[in-house]
Amino acid sequence: MLSIWNFDGKIAFEDILSATEKFDEKYCIGIGGYGTVFRVELEGGVTFAVKLLHSMEEFSDEGTFHAEIEVLTKIRPRCIVKLYGFCSHSQCKFLVYDLIERGSLSSILHEQELAKELDWTSRIAIVTDVVQALSYLHHDCNDPIVHRDIKSSNILLNQDYKAYVSDFGMARKLKHGCSSWSTIFAGTCDYIAPASVWLCWKL
């Protein structure tokens, strides 16, 4: 199944393969636990970020793929990366996002010269953007959404240092009135909320 909004699906699929020379590594702009991200520039100069999931031999949990689609197709972006479409095929799965030019907050903080550009005013603005995104997910959606993997590598910055929350592969929707706690660990160990660790330890 292929769905790319505002584009003819077949043409968009072929254009993405052509623009990346079938996902050649020279177009790679990032590698994560579930996939590799490529910069894609289509005819007319339109650019996207495409996350190609690891091969089925390496990655068997399709839950993260479908979770991200379910969440991002049902929310109104507010400091949240925009999903344009996806491809779901037995041999190839990828997600098409808005390209956030500066990349992740983590990559910037680990480059001394780039990190110097982030003064305290900019850092406070980034935190504010992330808090607004989480507030929207927790309080303004019909069913609250818990991201479960907030960390600097999942915060993307545009040219003006506006922050966008990305990577919703571990996100879960909650029914109103249900507890947000889970006895199953999710996320990156160093970033898991202490309260979640404490609760799971007690159980």
Q: Which of 149, 160, 167, 190 is catalytic?
A: 149
51 is in an annotated binding site: yes
Backbone phi, psi, residue 98, to 5°: -60, 140
> How many angstroms separate the CA atoms of 14 and 100, rounded?
23
| E strand spans, 5-130 | 28-31, 35-41, 47-53, 83-89, 92-98
Q: How far is CA 109 from CA 46, 67, 82, in A?
A: 28, 29, 23
| E strand spans, the chain | 2-4, 28-31, 35-41, 47-53, 83-89, 92-98, 145-146, 155-157, 163-165, 172-173
Number of Cβ within a 10 Å radius of residue 37: 23
Task: Tell me whether residue 15 is one of the annotated catalytic residues.
Answer: no
As annotated, the active-site residues are 149
Annotated binding site for ATP, which residues?
A: 51
Annotated binding site, which residues?
A: 51
